[in-house]
Amino acid sequence: MPIVVGQDTAKTRRTLSAGGKTFAYYSIKAAEEAGLGDFSKLPAALKVVLENMLRFEDGKTVSVDDIKAFSDWADKGGKNPKEIAYRPARVLMQDFTGVPAVVDLAAMRDGLVALGGDAQKINPLNPVDLVIDHSVMIDEFGNPRAFQMNVDREYERNIERYTFLKWGQSAFNNFRVVPPGTGICHQVNLEYLAKTVWSDNDQNGEMVAYPDTLVGTDSHTTMVNGAAVLGWGVGGIEAEAAMLGQPISMLIPEVVGFELTGAMMEGTTGTDLVLKVVEMLREKGVVGKFVEFYGKGLDNLPLADRATIANMAPEYGATCGFFPIDDETLRYLTNTGREEETIALVEAYAKENGFWRGADYAPIYTDTLSLDMGTIVPAISGPKRPQDYVALDVAAKTFGEYVTGQRPSWKADDEDKEEWTDEGGAPAPRKIPGDKGKHKRAKVKGEDYTIHDGTIVIASITSCTNTSNPYVMIGAGLVARKAREKGLTRKPWVKTSLAPGSQVVSAYLEAAELQDDLDAIGFNLVGYGCTTCIGNSGPLQAELSEAINDGDIIATSVLSGNRNFEGRISPDVRANYLASPPLVVAYALVGDMNIDISKEPLGQDKDGNDVYLKDIWPTSKEIADLVEKTVTRKAFQEKYADVFKGDEKWQSVETTDSQTYDWPATSTYVQNPPYFQGMSKDPGVISDVKGAKVLAVLGDMITTDHISPAGSFKESTPAGQYLIERQVPVREFNSYGSRRGNHEVMMRGTFANIRIKNEMLDGVEGGYTKGPDGEQTSIFDAAMAYQEQGTPLVIFGGEQYGAGSSRDWAAKGTALLGVKAVIAENFERIHRSNLVGMGVIPFEFTGGDTRKSLGLTGEETVDIIGLEGDLKPLSEVPCKITMADGTVKEITLKCRIDTAIEKEYIEHGGVLHYVLRDLAAA
């Protein structure tokens, strides 16, 4: 399908030659010559957006004033928050967020037919790639059968979803599916799908070169910014609109420049660097902003490390973390098997259109900060947030302080006066830093060891963040080799796993003969997917899980991922730490967060000598030599040769050939959502919120994991009961993430994270609230009771409401529960947009008001007025809160409907309703 360019763009269109071919392109220099402004000092990240304006200028959606606004941005010191309409080149999805998006497309076809339209009008207009990577779960580990057994279970659990996706692949134009077992979407994107500069025929048949851009239904879409591809995560709702040709409404962002100088020191990794970057940028405050990395330090930073930093942009709060095109970009594209003509075009285009980072690259930034990479030390991050940076040499002490804070009322009693015992049962007293040396203890049945606060029960090399980086993966393999040579292995209570982000990782680990060493200490291949990082860590040994819960043990996990929020990794684990893959291996050897692995022995060798971390840590040269030898262009070309074909299992999945989907009535994975049923042809109006009751009062940093968890759930939950009623055995529950194609499960899972705390209740964790009768009940049951009464609902929150994953169900579930407004101190970017996309209005407190200062208990009645009529974006509106005793507090709220198009979305009941009515009218 050709790209569609604007109709008023001829004055900025030029040609260039590369690889023996001629391409048209939209020239920033030509825009300057046409008198549209001076763009020479714009950061490269913003030039990508400017080029988008030039290419799509039509005098309507994109005007000359929109282009001139970028020159004004530079004149105003990096600030000009003008609303623009941005059109990314393509869309990336994974199956957790992609399945509900495809479900919505299928439902829209039904909805359009009901409105008298043609189902074939519902097709992606921009290319869409969906990578199935979120469904593999670690049921089996630590043995050679683990990979195949986990794949078999994955298909058993998910065949309904896979059948549906395979139908979508044939039913929709411009939609490709990368089958299970290939890799993680961001790594597949970085290593294969992305081109840095794209080319395609326009509607007039002329070949046009333009920057590769995308949005993705996963917040870590930002990873590809390491290869100078501008992309970021959006909610599935916003992605669906982009697929269907709707521009993304955004404000011209501020761009914070992050200068990198110096070079990494011996013994440090790209993970250590990114954890420091996350801490610094969170402290700086970059929510809603672009971050661009610059400085001489980039000359010493391989693209794999850049991708690691770009990947964690959601963790430092930025829209994206961008690295401009330079020689390292070309080297990476070459090494990963891109076509020579593509590489030639990237270089020619970047130099011709002002995107190249050369020695004279010195743009204007809104603000800057700097880091000397020579100051980086080994580090981890945790126990609850990615920005909780902890230098390795104080990690044990810091954990001890965390435990003490978790148990402020703990006092020794007779039972606790027993000494620690070692694995053989012999006395082994141990003083834990920051504590009194005694903890609650529990024996694990059938095993001769004792667990305690700090016992590491999960050590996982997982996630796109680090498995895309051959330097840390080879490093992990070398740590395993040296540990094996000295006779060390994982502690028996540690569940170890290796889940690479692509098959290329296995190719170079095997070529380096390191997979055998990883296998020997328990890091066998368990699957190609996200696994532990998204809560697919699988069950712990039953006796171990029972001991943790019976003993109220603060069990820990160490993973090479990007997220460590409470309740995310495993329901049995309360403290989670992010670490480089080599450190994950090291922690598996000791099995205890209380041990200072920077100083204390990891164990003893065959001769009884202490073995320290320095004894098994590889040198930078050892790692670099193996990377040079084994990470080859040929390996990438071979592994991605048939990337869309899949294995025999995928090829054997049977599906139907039809324009609309035949929804299986008995499916508990895929159901036709209710959004478009009974929908009228005309939009409604925005109404005031009157007589609303409070569903939950929530604290700071309520993440989308808290709102819509992705992991496993128990039989006793509303979602579990729904499945039990449909004869689904507990063993087949799978996870919330895998069931996002079924709104019935997901509604019941909304606000159901086991660690969420509703301040309406004292000391209660989990998805509970007060129902209309004032009694404690599940949030789902309370919401349904209020819906029966016709009572609207509101949610109160604190700072950074909706942080974390770009999870559309966090907004969909909120809407389906009957919530009309969410009132918080501030919102993370994606979730605010998702709420609007589902017709839920976000509001922010003003004037220093907060849920705490107002003394909210959840017993209040809320009225928000001033929404009807000519509501302007970002208006302030009055709110009346009637307290339980009848007193009234009147406050002012800022309505976070940010743009005119967002107002239209709310009027229509959501962005998909807006698109559907538009198509029906056409």
- CA–CA dist 919, 733 (Å, integer): 38
Residue with tokens 């099995």: 591
Q: How high is the pLDDT of residue 157? A: 87
pLDDT mean values, one per 10 residues, the chain (922 residues): 73 94 97 96 98 94 95 96 93 89 92 89 92 89 94 90 93 94 94 96 92 94 97 86 86 97 96 96 94 97 96 94 98 97 98 96 97 97 93 95 77 39 41 41 67 94 90 97 97 95 95 97 94 85 89 93 85 94 98 96 95 97 96 95 91 91 93 89 92 97 93 92 96 88 96 95 94 97 97 97 87 97 93 93 97 96 95 96 96 94 93 87 80
Q: How high is the pLDDT of residue 1? A: 59
Residue with tokens 């692949």: 169
The DSSP letter of residue 189 is I
CATH code for the part of the protein at 379-618: 3.30.499.10
Q: How high is the pLDDT of residue 571? A: 87
Residues with Cβ within 8 Å of residue 824, at least 6 apart in sequence: 795, 796, 797, 798, 799, 801, 802, 842, 843, 844, 845
Q: How high is the pLDDT of residue 467? A: 87
Residue with tokens 């046409």: 34
Q: How far is CA 653 from CA 262, 635, 663, 703, in A?
A: 52, 28, 17, 36
Q: How high is the pLDDT of residue 443? A: 63
Buried b (16+ CB within 10 A) or exposed e, 173-195: eebebbbbbbbbbbbbbbbbbbb
User: Residue 920's closest CA among 683, 675, 661?
Assistant: 683
Strands laid side by side in the 290-294 sheet: 320-322, 290-294, 255-261, 367-372
- CA–CA dist 133, 178 (Å, integer): 9
Helical packing angle, 470-485 and 303-311, nearest 10°: 100
Class of 689-708+750-921 per CATH? alpha beta
The structure's pTM equals: 0.84
Residue with tokens 């950074």: 800
- CA–CA dist 592, 304 (Å, integer): 30
The CA radius of gyration of the chain, in Å to the nearest whole number, is: 27
Q: DSSP string spanning 85-120?
A: EE--SEEEEEHHHHHHHHHHHHHHHHHHHHTT--GG
CB of 367 closer than 8 Å to CB of 291: no
Q: How high is the pLDDT of residue 892? A: 98
Q: How far is CA 487 from CA 520, 603, 606, 717, in A?
A: 10, 9, 6, 45
- pLDDT tens-digit map of 108-146: 999 999 888 899 889 998 999 999 998 888 999 999 999
Say if 379-618 and 689-708+750-921 have the same CATH topology: no
Encoded tokens for 117: 């339209």
- CA–CA dist 365, 909 (Å, integer): 38
User: Residue 33's closest CA among 57, 14, 49?
Assistant: 14
CB of 826 closer than 8 Å to CB of 798: no
Q: How high is the pLDDT of residue 362? A: 95
Residues with Cβ within 8 Å of residue 905, at least 6 apart in sequence: 836, 837, 839, 911, 914
CB of 547 closer than 8 Å to CB of 553: yes
Domain ranges of the chain: 10-86, 379-618, 689-708+750-921
Helical packing angle, 503-511 and 470-485, nearest 10°: 40
- pLDDT tens-digit map of 317-376: 999 999 999 999 999 999 999 999 999 999 999 999 999 999 999 999 999 999 999 999
- CA–CA dist 862, 921 (Å, integer): 37
CB of 906 closer than 8 Å to CB of 839: yes
- CA–CA dist 526, 4 (Å, integer): 43
Q: How high is the pLDDT of residue 592? A: 96
CB of 114 closer than 8 Å to CB of 499: no
User: Residue 802's closest CA among 671, 732, 700, 720?
Assistant: 700
Encoded tokens for 311: 């990947």
- CA–CA dist 392, 602 (Å, integer): 14
Q: How high is the pLDDT of residue 474? A: 97
Q: How high is the pLDDT of residue 442? A: 60
User: Residue 311's closest CA among 239, 238, 222, 381?
Assistant: 222
Residue type at position 576: N
Burial class (CB in 10 A: 0-12, 13-18, 19+), 307: buried
User: Residue 66's closest CA among 85, 47, 48, 79?
Assistant: 85
- pLDDT tens-digit map of 689-734: 999 999 999 999 999 999 999 888 999 999 999 999 999 999 889 8
